[in-house]
Copies of this chain bind each other. A is one copy, B any other.
Amino acid sequence: MMEENMELYSQVGRNLREIRRQRKISLEELAEKSNVSKLTLGKIERGEANPTLNILWKICRGLTIPLASLLVFEEKTEVYRFGVDPHFNGPNNDWFVDPLFKTFGTMEWYRACIEPNSEYSEFHLAGSEETILVLNGQLEIKVGKMHHLLHQWDVMKFKGEEMHTYINRSDEKVHLMLSLTYKDVNQTL
């Protein structure tokens, strides 16, 4: 097997093994319950397999656990180096966003940049809260119909579901940190 994603496979395997052991059932029993061969189950648990969505599904059904549970784990320390890691550009290269820290569900972190004399609008799902910190320069933010002018290191928090616009009226790039918090896992999508 390719050694590309060993760490991922190991994590998933560890999760499965832990759950199975907790239930005190053998590989063979699980094979019956899930209709996945004992060999495949073993390989997955040992991190030697790249299982199919269908197989993951069958295993989770066999254990009556949610599909995502096998794929949740502490991801290793993550470092995103400024200017090195890829980011998402806006349609006119007037802003970009680096999503940071692939934490699950309740919180997301972004590093963003708005080009001089440009703006960017968005809104998020109900129940989300957005917190931003301006890293440099000054930034105008419109939330609903209210405008706010923020300076370096100013922090602001608002309801994410309201349409909001980041406006950079200066002649320099403005950078900001941005975090989104959701009330509920199901609302992150």
Binding site for B on A (CB under 8 A): 4-5, 8-9, 12, 15, 18-19, 23-25, 33, 50-54, 56-57, 60, 63-69, 71-75, 86, 88, 91, 98-100, 102-106, 185-186, 188-189
Contacts and interface: CB of A to CB of B under 8 A. Distances in A.
Contacts of A72: 67-68, 105, 185-186, 188-189
B91 A24 contact: yes
Contacts of A33: 86
Contacts of A57: 5, 8
A33 B85 CA distance: 12
B189 A68 contact: no
Given A53-B56, A105-B185, A185-B105, A68 B68 contact: yes
Contacts of A23: 88
Among A5, A19, A66: residue with most chain B CB under 10 A: A66
Contact of A53 (B51, B67, B91, B186): B51
A51 B67 CA distance: 14
Contact of A68 (B4, B100, B104): B104
B65 A71 contact: no
Contact of A189 (B67, B69, B88, B106): B69
Given A12-B53, A33-B86, A50-B54, A64 B18 contact: no
A66 B104 contact: yes
A50 B8 CA distance: 19
Nearest to A4: B54
Among A64, A67, A88: residue with most chain B CB under 10 A: A64
Contacts of A71: 67-68, 71
Nearest to A85: B64
Contacts of A68: 68, 71-72, 104-105
